[in-house]
Amino acid sequence: MPMKNVVITGIGLISPLGLTIDESWENAIAGKSGVSRVTRFDAEKYTTKIAAEVKNFDPRKYFDVKEANRYDRSIQFGVGAAVDALADSGFVITPENAERVGIIIGSGIGGITGIADTTLNLDKNGPRVVTPFFIPGSIINMVSGYLAIRTGAKGLNYAVVSACATSNHAIGDAFHAIQRGEVDAMIVGGTEAPIIDVAYAGFCSMRAMSKRNDEPERASRPFDKDRDGFVLGEGAGVFILEEEEHARARGAKMYARVLSIGMTADANHITAPPEDGDGAYRAMKLAVQYAGLEAGQIDYINTHGTSTGLGDVAETIAVKRLFLEHAQNGLALSSTKSMHGHLLGAAGAIEAAFTVLAIKNGIMPPTINLDTPDPQCDLDYVPNVARKKDIRYALSNGFGFGGTNASVCFGKV
């Protein structure tokens, strides 16, 4: 049986750059930063006091008041982005097609706010204060579960959890399910709401985050010589993936095709990539190979580009190893994390959305704050200003703690 073609027909974004897909994209192309001083909690006692927060989010747009109080912020983001993605696609789930629609919404750490708050409340006031909605309001697969109840979708339903590669893996699983003919459509993506004191305590102890507290908007600076760590972000990105003929039959608009995913493991270290970027190299190589392409046909890469010392260099080495002369002559890369920070399990979804929009609109978002390039990072990272380019094929990279790597390949419709 021939494999089916897969297209993206809807996108929902709730990000540090905006509460909608249009607002987020416009700010990304304008090179605006979503980083500022932390407002979610008092961060003054931490070495890092900045974050890329989602501003002015109102869960009552998607939930009634009782529901909004039951669910962790990560669930609120994920459901909201999914509702928006469905509206953007115009796809309607009915009793007739429900069994052919699946959902995979992942997260790196899920309902950490609800878990932390409930733990403190339990310790202070005892078990009687713990709400019966605590567990179902915090667990990672509840975005997928809640959406199934809300929409009636009865196909495969679960969550992916693979640190910062979560959303890439979710997209890959959904792509494969449609390719195999198991479903006609998928609601897929990632969500994260980690801006909380316990997460800051952990990341600060690892010395992983930027301490550029006096210049928040300039703190995330991938590939720059003066980078000093990543900036934590929050939000969600969700896509509607459909079998292409299914989408055409209903007259759906199509953003791009999903062509392949390459997945590897570093088998190296719990947090650090190998210096030669071997896992990233093999993930990109497999993505290009599985898409039936040559490396020279890739026009653009939305990098993992976290603004960390080891990670940015390793990814650059991996790109140069795979793309050879094309890496220096014709290939463009950028890290949108320079604007929206690192959304952990939702990072790949936000970045995949910007990759797809770059293909659709023929313009690449910039890597802002790239003022003094690291001599070891010597590629074209679209510094500081967006650039027009006809993009036929693009990769979106996601590499996570534990050494998990995933590179998704997208193509023009």
pLDDT in tens, 368-384: 999 999 999 999 999 99
Q: Is the pLDDT of residue 1 over 70?
A: no
The reply to whether 209 falls in a domain is yes
What is residue 91's three-state secondary structure? Answer: coil
Q: Are residues 290 and 355 in the same domain?
A: yes
- Rounded CA-CA distance 262/248 in Å is 27
Q: Are residues 51 and 86 in the same domain?
A: yes
Domain end marker among 197, 219, 249: 249
What range defines the domain where residue 287 resides?
Answer: 260-411
Q: Note the pTM of the prediction, 2 decimals.
A: 0.97
The reply to whether 254 falls in a domain is no
Q: Are residues 207 and 81 in the same domain?
A: yes
Q: Are residues 229 and 288 in the same domain?
A: no
Percent of all residues in the chain with a pLDDT value above 90, rounded to a whole number:
97
Q: Are residues 214 and 275 in the same domain?
A: no
How confident is the model at residue 178, as a pLDDT?
A: 98
Q: Are residues 245 and 264 in the same domain?
A: no
Average pLDDT over residues 178-202: 97
Q: How confident is the model at residue 2 (pLDDT cuts 50, 70, 90)?
A: confident
The reply to whether 255 falls in a domain is no
Q: Is the pLDDT of residue 138 over 70?
A: yes
Cα atoms in the Cβ-side hemisphere of radius 13 Å centred on 318 = 29
The reply to whether 1 falls in a domain is no
What is residue 136's three-state secondary structure? Answer: coil
Domain end marker among 249, 279, 312: 249
The reply to whether 207 falls in a domain is yes
Q: For residue 123, give every residue at least 6 positions away whose Cβ sits within 8 Å of its Cβ, in sequence order, or none.
A: none
Which pLDDT tens digit goes with each residue over 73-128?
999 999 999 999 999 999 999 999 999 999 999 999 999 999 999 999 999 999 99
Which pLDDT tens digit goes with each residue over 147-178?
999 999 999 999 999 999 999 999 999 999 99
DSSP letter (8 states) at residue 383: B
Q: Are residues 193 and 319 in the same domain?
A: no
Residue written as tokens 């305590």? 201
- The neighbour count for residue 386, using CB atoms within 10 Å, is 18
The reply to whether 124 falls in a domain is yes
Give the closest residue to 345 by CA, choosing from 172, 106, 111. Answer: 106
Domain end marker among 249, 275, 291: 249
Q: Are residues 242 and 273 in the same domain?
A: no
Q: Are residues 39 and 93 in the same domain?
A: yes
Cα atoms in the Cβ-side hemisphere of radius 13 Å centred on 223 = 27
- The neighbour count for residue 128, using CB atoms within 10 Å, is 6
Q: Are residues 56 and 151 in the same domain?
A: yes
Q: Are residues 125 and 15 in the same domain?
A: yes
Looking up residue 47, the CATH number of its domain turns out to be 3.40.47.10
Which pLDDT tens digit goes with each residue over 260-289?
999 999 999 999 999 999 999 999 999 999
- Residues assigned a catalytic role: 164, 304, 342
Residue written as tokens 């179902």? 136
Q: Is the pLDDT of residue 3 over 90?
A: no
Q: Are residues 230 and 281 in the same domain?
A: no
Count of structural domains, the chain: 2
Which pLDDT tens digit goes with each residue over 252-263?
999 999 999 999
